[in-house]
Structure 1
Amino acid sequence: MTTIAVTGATGHLGRLVVQALLDRGVDAGAIVAAVRTPQKAADLLGRGVQVREADYDRPETLATALAGVDRLLLVSGNAVGSRLAQHRAVIEAAKAAGVGFVAYTSVLRADTTPIRLAAEHRATEEALAASGLPYSFLRNGWYLENYTSQLPTVRATGAFLGSAGQGRIAAATRADYAEAAAAVLTAGSARPVYELGGDQPFTMAELAAEVSRQLGAEIGYTDVPAEQLVTILTGAGVPRDFAEILADTDVHVREHSALDNPGPDLRELIGRPTTAPAEAIAEALKR
């Protein structure tokens, strides 16, 4: 029986990957939820999933977590600035444990994109390629949840704010990307690189128009200079470094279509069209 491990399995994406593996018929006992805090995975343990401690910042936990694992999904960490060292620790532990395949959740066109957010992803890809382990880079585009999570604030203020201009964004839901990861983890073979994005690219103005239609209220999109966006985000409590990364991404969306992706990889992996922005908005508005 092939054993599949998912790091960050109590996070937004990792938990969905575990569910997608179960939905694909993978035996729960063949799934390892590798998590920093095992207590948060009690529900997975109750379903028969193996739960093992795996803290990116404590490499001594990784050897035990990956023992006997055949295929691994390395879900990128969220500590921007510290992720490369964390990811290298996992890659080294995977190699030492004899893991046969590693998939890594990267970012769209990580090897060529100008966005600052890609730097650690690109370096992680290089480290994984140099490790000698068989691998796939799952280069995820933007999550629709990045926008639907803003809906309470947008309803209150009447507008989305950003610096993306008329740039198009090929976003998909976390569940879409999770299904794709599960497909790669359970496939007999996999390509080295998948460029993953949604089927219905949109501008921020178009997204605002769809929210307006569903709410029956006027919601606009206010485009501001990147420096002003950083000030607004930090004023709302976003750490400055991350606010600057978000603003930088918007600038490159506007100038270089950095988050647009016309390719079919995501829909082909999941075997269906990706979730439409209108559907994701409708679902979010129910909550």
Structure 2
Amino acid sequence: MLRRAKELRRALKGIEVDFSRAVRLCYARSASIFWMEPLAVAYPKSAEEVVRVVRACAELGVPITARGAGSSIAGQCLSRGLVLDFSRYMNETIEVDPEGRRAKVQPGGVLSRLNERLRPYGLFFPPDPSSADFCTVGGMAAVNSSGARFVRYGPTRRWVRSVKVVLSTGDVALIGREGWEASGKGAEILRTAEAVVERHRGTALKGAPKVAKNASGYALWEAAEKDSLLPLFIGSEGTLGVFIELELEVHPLPRRRACVFSLHRSAEGAAEAALR
């Protein structure tokens, strides 16, 4: 472990990386019940630094785990390798386009702050996890978050128009609803992914979960249905690449809110009423 840490320190010279035990212990926990101490914690300030980190870790065989607010209760942000904390620097709302109803954000941007930025335009980003005050948009996309208003607005996957992602080779790819852009080995990876989706298209569509909400595994059925790799990346928990920018679809704020109290004879009846 010490040798690997020294190699990583040399490879990431100029990037803010903390190898101290105190910091590693802080990042050994999240909102989950699990504990896992990382090798180090990096705080990238730009897409270029993320590329450097990914390439260095690939060369040294060090696992990478992207982290937002650490608010997941399933422990996805814990790692024995290098933790990439996006919340310190890469946390800006890059652009808001009210007429096009879209926003570009960095992965460490907090959901509540994004909605504050959108509110003057009468817009908001609909997914509403209970951790909305501090969870990050990158983390939401990584786990395909939803929330109490899921029945009305659906999960995060529904609202992501495109992502810029650093693949395992260190190549940057832009993956959208209508296609993707990449070069070199990154393009080879994405062409291979498309071939896998095509090869298993029939099985994926036939086996699509018949549920309103599903955050388990890769959304292979949705990728096949929409002829897009984007659904695979949203909900992949960082296993397919590291998000460095997200383009989101945003929605007009509700004109009014109301609370309804109703009684039902069964849980099934209540669920059917909610879906209506």
Task: Tell me if TM exceeds 0.5.
Answer: no
Higher percent of residues as helix:
1
User: Structure 2-normalised TM-score?
Assistant: 0.25
User: Structure 1-normalised TM-score?
Assistant: 0.24
